[in-house]
Amino acid sequence: MLKNLIIPKFKNNSKEPKRLWLDLGDLGDLVNPAGPHEQWQDHGMGLLRTILHQNGLMTDMFSTRQCTSWEEVERRMKGYDMLIMNVRSYTYPIAYRAAKIFKRINPHGIVLTGGMHATVALDEMLSVPEFDKICQGPGENVIVNLVANPDAFPRVVLGIGAKSMAEWPMIDRTLWPEPASAKLKARFNWPLEPECGWGPPPVATILTSRVCPWQCAFCNENSYIPNMGRRPVDMVIEELNYLDETYGPIGSVVIHDSMFFQNPSWLEEWLDKYPKYANKTWPYWAAARADTVRQWPELFEALVRKTNWHIVSIGFESGSDRVLKILNKECTEEDNYFAIDLLTRIGDDMEAKGLEPPIFWSNIMLGIPGETREDAFKTMRMLKYTKRIMPSISFYAPYPGSALGHQLIAEGKSLMTKENYHRYPDDEKVKGIDYNFYRDLLSGKYDDEINRGLATIRQQRSNYWDALAKA
Amino acid sequence: MKVPLSEAQRQLIIKMAQGMRLKDHRDIEGNKYFVIYSPDGRGDVVSREDVEALVEAGLVSSNKKFPSATYWLTEAGQALAQSML
């Protein structure tokens, strides 16, 4: 067993400040959730609380998701000296309100914040006086000193990350919030996680790598978080086995990496060791890119077949080269169709052998500035062409922090504002986009047009595969 | 397999087939609700139980976006809608 599994126990010194870590999410999400994703746990919080506790800095914790009213949140926050929050864009309004309440009922208390929203939207955080300290970027190598001695730091703190995920301790998952109703407890599998349609429960979510190195114009996460070494394969497998033995049996795994299918040498080691040394070759969800699938098709196929990579998440985004260029996706239509054909062929073969075929989980964007109707038809055609797919379709959103988002905000074309962009109140996010056309498209009004081109694509792809087979 | 639908559920299917869009919403007070929107942007709240029943029956699916998802008719839902229109 790994040494980093052993967490030293420290007694809470009564002279120590009372510290509260507030897990953020919508009220009631851990009482009576409406969907699976809102029940997922925060790996950032789990990691940082584990580090704090290993260093003797104990924190209490509860989640806004465990509460059903702000009065309950207020009651549970009373009497603390320090409030710590990991703030994402979609939890920003909750963090803002919690900080206001905390300061009102604990006027001498200090509020420490960090997280992705602090990193990409610092101006917004700075305008809130209740946020006493704002940590940008990775926090794992600064949080102990910051929490122990916040007065030694300026208001804005530049985070320090680990050079490698091998330096991270294993998350103590009992530091995550528990489901807060008997009904939810019965199916949650805490401290593992509930199923979300990607594999059988209980689900173990895990990170093996951090940050996608590509520079898509709608994301750009690697502009904010420095690269770091991937978690060694042995550590990943040992953690899964530990979770299986301690809290399991595990039903399936979700690898939360922004980009799992990178670093071929790591993937080859995973291919070799996961089936051999994991207690079970649990089916898993993990992300890839169409161009890397095309670049390393043998490795991709081996991973799907031998490691039970059952749900392959690929952000195809668009079925049009024009739009893929606008998005700086660095993938082509041909890359997308190659990946689709390859997984279909693997799936057909597995199905013929009585095995469950792998499925795509695919993010698709519509309503991208510059997209023509024909571009959108091509995207819908690509979706219809794909035999086994769970599509996740959304309208493009110009988020602050991304290159295209910056540009559209600067040009005054974004309909998202600081007041509403966290809550996605409407589909309409960019000026000049014909959203009625897209609504009609999604409701099937252009299906005849889409289907007309589909037969041609099927014929072309069939010829392509015939030619490849002959070659 | 035929799924017995309530009148409210049938109406929801018909409205979606006619181009109205179904979305879920949540607010900072913890309220979660479903709204069916007409093309002019007017919205009516619909029952969460009805939407969940249609999803369970495979007639309606969504983009599974969190914290607000957009729903649409699956192929089975579209076929059913055609038979009802």
Give the residue from chain B lying closest to A89, CA to CA: B67
CA dist B37 and B68 (Å) reads: 14
Chain B positions in Cβ-Cβ contact with residue A67 (cut-off 8 Å): 30
Digit-coded pLDDT (tens) for A349-392: 999 999 999 999 988 999 999 999 999 999 999 999 999 988 88
Please tell me the predicted confidence (pLDDT) of residue A8.
Answer: 44
Distance CA(A451)–CA(A456), nearest Å, equals 9
Q: What is the arithmetic mean of pLDDT over A95-105?
A: 97
B18, B23, B26: which to substitute to probe chain A, counting the most A Cβ within 10 Å?
Answer: B26
B74 vs A: CB within 8 A:
no
Segments forming the whole domain that contains residue B35:
7-84
Q: Distance between CA atoms of B85 and B80, rounded to whole angstroms?
A: 9
Q: What is the pLDDT of residues B34-75, one digit of tens each?
A: 999 887 778 899 999 999 899 989 999 887 766 677 888 888
Residues 256-275 in A contacting B (C-alpha not used; CB under 8 Å): none
pLDDT at res. A3: 40
Say what the ipTM of the complex is. Answer: 0.77
All residues of chain B having their beta carbon less than 8 Å from the beta carbon of residue A97 are 28
pTM for the model: 0.88
Locate the chain A residue with the closest alpha carbon to B34. A34
Q: Which residues pair with A193 in a beta bridge?
A: A203
Q: Which of A310, A307, A309 is nearest to A278 (CA)?
A: A307
Confidence at residue A423, expressed as pLDDT on a 0 to 100 scale: 55
Subunit contact B30:A93, Cβ cutoff 8 A: no
Q: What does the mean pLDDT of chain B come to?
A: 86
Which of A26, A88, A362 to substitute to test the interface with B, most B CBs within 10 Å? A26
Instruction: Say if B78 is an interface residue toward chain A (CB within 8 Å).
Output: yes
Please check whether residue B70 touches A, CB under 8 A: yes
The model's pLDDT over A123-150, given as tens digits with 9 standing for 90+, comes to 889 999 999 999 998 899 999 999 999 9
CATH code: domain of residue B35: 1.10.10
One-letter amino acid for residue A170 of the chain: M
**Residues of chain A neighbouring B29 (CB-CB closer than 8 A):** 27, 69-70
**Which chain B residue's Cα is nearest to A97?**
B28
pLDDT at A466: 60
Residue A160 has pLDDT above 80, yes or no: yes
In a domain, B1, yes or no: no
Range in A242-246, A286-290, B3-7 with the lowest mean pLDDT: B3-7
B48–A contact, CB cutoff 8 A = yes
Is it the case that residue B30 has pLDDT exceeding 80? yes
Q: Do B72 and A442 touch (CB under 8 A)?
A: yes
Q: Is A463 on the interface with B (CB under 8 A)?
A: no
Instruction: Determine, yes or no, domain membership for B38.
Output: yes
Q: Which residues contact A355 (CB under 8 A, 6 or more apart)?
A: none
On the question of pLDDT at A9 being above 50, the answer is no
Whether residue B69 and residue A436 make contact (CB cut-off 8 A), yes or no, is no
* Least confident piece of the model among A132-141, A162-171, A222-231: A222-231
Contacts of A41 in chain B (CB under 8 A): none
To the nearest whole Å, the CA of B2 is away from the closest chain A CA by 22
Tally of domains within chain B: 1
Instruction: Flag if B66 and A445 touch (Cβ within 8 Å).
Output: no
Long-range Cβ pairs for the range A150-157 (8 Å, 24+): A150/A82, A150/A110, A150/A112, A155/A126, A156/A122, A156/A126, A157/A133
Please state, for a pLDDT cut of 90, what percent of chain A lies above it: 69
Residue B2 included in any domain: no
Distance separating alpha carbons of residues A213 and A229, to the nearest angstrom: 12
CB contact under 8 A, B63 and A445: no
Per-residue confidence at A32, pLDDT binned at 50, 70, 90?
confident
Q: Between the CA of residue A115 and those of A65, A79, A86, A133, what are the distances in Å?
A: 18, 25, 5, 12
CA–CA gap between residue A330 and residue A321 (Å, rounded): 10
Minimal Cβ distance to B78: which of A38, A90, A444: A444
Assign B29 to helix, strand or coil: coil
What is the C-alpha to C-alpha distance for residues A146 and A144, in angstroms, rounded to an integer? 6
Percent of chain B that is helix, strand, coil (3-state, to 5): 35, 25, 40
Q: Which of B21, B30, B64 sits opposite A68 (nearest CB)?
A: B30
pLDDT, residue A4, reads 43
Residue to test with chain B: of A439, A445, A448, most B Cβ within 10 A: A439
- Cβ within 8 Å, pair A443-B70: no
CA distance B70 to chain A (A): 8
Cα of A19 to nearest chain B Cα, Å: 24
Residue B35 lies in a domain: yes
Residue A186 structure tokens? 């019965």
Distance CA A204, CA A256 (A): 10
CA distance B66 to chain A (A): 7
